Amino acid sequence: MAKRNMHQATMQSSNSPQPALRTTDSPEESPGNKDSPEPKEELSPGAEPAEEAGEGSEEPRDEMTLDINRFRKPGEKTFTQRSRLFVGNLPVDIPEEEFKDMFAKYGNISEVFINRERGFGFIRLETRTLAEIAKCELDGTVMNNRPIRIRFATHGSALTVRNLLPAVTNELLEQAFSEFGPVERAIVVTDDRGRPTGRGIVEFANKAAARKALEQCTEGALLLTNTPCPAIVEPSEHFDDEDGQPEKLLHKTQNTIRNES
């Protein structure tokens, strides 16, 4: 793991640290987990965050140092559309170098695009998690008195697959759809016990491949196993269940809706 670096205490953050809010322990809860059928949880006496606040540390920690290599997983494709961030509310005159430098610490970057007129940009990081870290740390950073806004860009070439047999693995799914074009990610969705749900996600590297897969699987039949059970393929919809619709955005979205209806 990365060498720790917890003695520096810097407070450059615009977010004030939050006190631990309520956390309720639910002994009757059963985390149906792949590796553990319903363990009974003894709750440690010090289960209240308030008491645990100092847990495992003598000095206050305001920084964590991570080993970037741990965020590069063997076999994981890099610089995919899943690792692509939209950056809004940028200073209109931001130099490309300054934009790149903001993300430089999160590993390598790719496909940098800036629209200075409209004050937004796009950038790809190596992996999804690195992009999540950058999003979380940089979102709301104040530049020229305006907080920049960072979100994941919509994946333009993702498909949902249904009717998959239990024997289908991520690897088989990827292999089968690679005939239509480069696959960025193929996942057989499992339930909370690791059992396949029959649903899958296939993310292509470009729209053309996604379109081709969609057409050929709709007109013809794609068999992933030697059982006559054709996969049902549909375009994936992109939803935001992270930020959702907060008050502060309501007015904006209401206008959007009004303008479009």
Nearer to a copy of itself, 23 or 220 (CB): 23
Nearer to a copy of itself, 64 or 145 (CB): 64
Of the candidates 60, 239, 54, 77, which has an alpha carbon nearest to the alpha carbon of residue 155?
A: 239
Rounded Cα distance between 23 and 44, Å, is 14
Interaction mask 78-107, a copy of itself, x per CB under 8 A: xxxx--x-x-xx-------x--xx-xxxxx
Among 7, 93, 145, 192, binds a copy of itself (CB under 8 A): 192
3-state secondary structure of 138: helix
Nearer to a copy of itself, 1 or 145 (CB): 1
Among 35, 59, 93, 219, binds a copy of itself (CB under 8 A): 35
Of the candidates 52, 134, 156, which has an alpha carbon nearest to the alpha carbon of residue 85?
A: 134
Q: Does 162 contact a copy of itself by CB under 8 A? A: no
Nearer to a copy of itself, 22 or 220 (CB): 22
Among 91, 116, 129, 229, binds a copy of itself (CB under 8 A): 129
Rounded Cα distance between 261 and 256, Å, is 9
Binding segment (CB under 8 A) for a copy of itself, from list 169-177, 212-220, 221-229: 169-177
Q: Does 149 contact a copy of itself by CB under 8 A? A: yes
Among 147, 162, 235, 245, binds a copy of itself (CB under 8 A): 245
CB-based contacts of 182: which residues, under 8 Å, 6+ apart? 204, 205, 206, 209
> Cα angle at 176 between 191 and 223, to 5 degrees?
85
Among 142, 221, 223, 250, binds a copy of itself (CB under 8 A): 250
Binding segment (CB under 8 A) for a copy of itself, from list 186-194, 212-220, 223-231: 186-194
Is residue 74 within 8 A of residue 127, CB to CB? The reply is no
Among 108, 163, 178, 216, binds a copy of itself (CB under 8 A): 108
Side chain identity at 32, as an amino acid letter? Answer: G
Of the candidates 84, 83, 87, which has an alpha carbon nearest to the alpha carbon of residue 71?
A: 83
